[in-house]
Homo-oligomer: A and B are copies of this chain.
Amino acid sequence: MRVLGIDPGLSRCGYGVVQNNPASSIQPGVDMISGGVIVTDHKDILGHRLSVFHGDFVSLLDDFSPDVVAIERILFRKNAKTAFGVGQAVGLVHMCCYQRGVPVVEYSAAEVKLAVAGHGSASKYQVQRMIQLLANLDEMPNPPDVADALALGMCHLANVSGGGALVLS
């Protein structure tokens, strides 16, 4: 299964593509396929920023053909102005996925941290470090947006494999 993880935002949106690989000699057998950040310029007009985001996100679906998209569930403790901007990015993700028949699943930040780092209040550094170990990377994924997006993807892989957490052998 291939998962596209999305750490949503309009100025910066982290993405990470992961795939389970049961045949891997390195457990838990998760391959990182790609990771990066969709960036839009807050000085541009809103319509242009959303068009850029839309085009870039559709390209991710085209390039990586994920089986599912895992996105961070937004908690409404955030202030209304933040929710307004994040909502626009989240909305485009849901719309594009629906139009292409790709299911969208949501996980809270705490669920993701629990799955990849063993506890729901892990620091950003701990998440980055665990992603490096789980995906057997030479370096920690940077910036943290990418690590968070990869973690979302890995959280979903852990969830569908029946366990609630990924375990290093």
Contacts and interface: CB of A to CB of B under 8 A. Distances in A.
How many chain copies?
2
A48 interface: yes
Contacts of A96: 47
Interface in A32-75: 45-48, 50-51, 54, 74
A2 to B, nearest CB: 19
A158 B81 CA distance: 29
Contacts of A140: none
A87 interface: yes
A83 B40 CA distance: 20
Interface of A: 45-48, 50-51, 54, 74, 76-92, 94-99, 104
